[in-house]
Structure 1
Amino acid sequence: MAAPLTATERASRVKLMIFDVDGVLTDGGLMFTAEGDTMKAFHSMDGHGAKLLRQAGIDTAIITGRKSGIVAVRAKELKITHLYQGVENKPEAFAELLKETGLTAEECGYMGDDWVDLAVMLKVGFAAAPANSHPEVIARAHWVSEARGGHGAVREVCDTLLRAQHKYDALLAAACGGGDQQGLVG
């Protein structure tokens, strides 16, 4: 019998990374205006990580239980290709996403933080969780960030995917103007 795949081996196979919103792309806090509109805060480094995935040829998606104009705007800004909002059944949305993309579940990654994410996390090839996820989610994740949801966890998983697929260094070199990064103070 073959040894189980490591998190890095799993990350190296991801062609589509899927994110939950509340507790992953945000800190999970919900702020409401007096009119009942929801406000959310997104971390800029998380957004840049999603852009880097796209540059590296890794597609992105959002599957979230809430429906929010703010999420639609953020997804458009980040050029997240597949957006599923107001989803009551995440496994059904995931199945639809697989049909739409032609990918297999093993070629997908998913980052979630709570029980509603578990059914999809257990299907994908690479399951990730922010550090402050529910303990049951952490126990079932292949990889857990050091950062909390909404505070760089998405950027960490993006960097992990890029490193596992040997695309990180080229993107970093391009960001440095194509020069050698030796001796840079970080």
Structure 2
Amino acid sequence: MIQPEVNFTYQLDHLRRAAAVKVMIFDVDGVLTDGSLTYGPDGEATKTFNVLDGLGIQLLQKSGVATAIISARQSPIVVRRAADLGIMHVHQGIHDKRIAFAKLLEATGVTAAQCGYIGDDVIDLPLLLQVGFAVTVPTGHPEVQYRAHYVTKAGGGRGAVREVCDMVMRAQGTYETALAPYFA
């Protein structure tokens, strides 16, 4: 069997982009979760989050990269998860994500080029087209996949966020230090 050629230029490009990230921004549905919504008998929606993703976010924060959530949907579950992980910048219920993004840039003092964003649907395109490191998941809409700098191997809610966090830390040279306490 012939192995496909690896595009090293592409690999170097997304690693270069990941190295410049000062703020990593996450969509929720389809990224931090698998995109499923389960409604309980009282109409409340539940979401399932991945613990590997959670630790990845915490390690990324400890390595000096700020984190944020921008989601079009409003959910108290997201507020709870963000608080558990120490994510300080949470913007929900804003369908034009550019508004939340502008507020985030102002609050953090970074440029769009210094941000990474992982989203999965066309509502995420306005941010994906602005940030320095645009990421999506394998189930992301084709228009999103076409425009992303990187498509994760893991799915949304199944380790995609951890994959990106690890990639950013590796690109910035902080991965070994972040994991060192677990090898002591």
Report the TM-score when normalising by structure 1: 0.91
Q: Could you tell me which residue of structure 2 aligns to residue 151 of structure 1?
A: 158
Q: Could you tell me which residue of structure 2 aligns to residue 8 of structure 1?
A: 15
Asked if 1:173 is matched to 2:180, the reply is yes
How large is the RMSD of aligned CA atoms in angstroms?
1.3
Asked if 1:58 is matched to 2:65, the reply is yes
Q: Could you tell me which residue of structure 1 aligns to residue 25 of structure 2?
A: 18
Asked if 1:100 is matched to 2:107, the reply is yes
Asked if 1:119 is matched to 2:131, the reply is no
5+ residue gaps, structure 2, are: 1-8
- Of residues 93, 102, 105, the one that matches 1:86 is 93
Encode CA deviations 1:108-159: one digit per residue, 9 max, x unaligned: 0000000000000000000011111111111111111101100000000000
For 2:122 and 2:135, the matched residues in 1 are separated by: 13
AA aligned opposite 2:137: P
Report the Cα offset of residue 68 of structure 1: 0.6
Count of residues in correspondence between the two structures: 175
AA aligned opposite 2:29: D
Encode CA deviations 1:72-98: one digit per residue, 9 max, x unaligned: 000000000100011121011101110
- Of residues 26, 38, 49, the one that matches 1:31 is 38
**1:32, 1:39 within 8 Å by CA — same for their partners in 2?**
yes
- Of residues 19, 26, 47, the one that matches 1:40 is 47
For 2:155 and 2:142, the matched residues in 1 are separated by: 13
Looking at secondary structure, tell me which structure has more helix per residue. Answer: 2
Report the TM-score when normalising by structure 2: 0.92
Q: Could you tell me which residue of structure 1 aligns to residue 169 of structure 2?
A: 162
For 1:20 and 1:171, the matched residues in 2 are separated by: 24
For 2:46 and 2:180, the matched residues in 1 are separated by: 36
5+ residue gaps, structure 1, are: 178-186
**1:131, 1:153 within 8 Å by CA — same for their partners in 2?**
no
Asked if 1:74 is matched to 2:66, the reply is no
Report the Cα offset of residue 175 of structure 1: 1.6
Report the Cα offset of residue 174 of structure 1: 2.1
Find the residue that maps to 1:83 and give its secondary structure: strand
Identity across matched positions, percent: 51
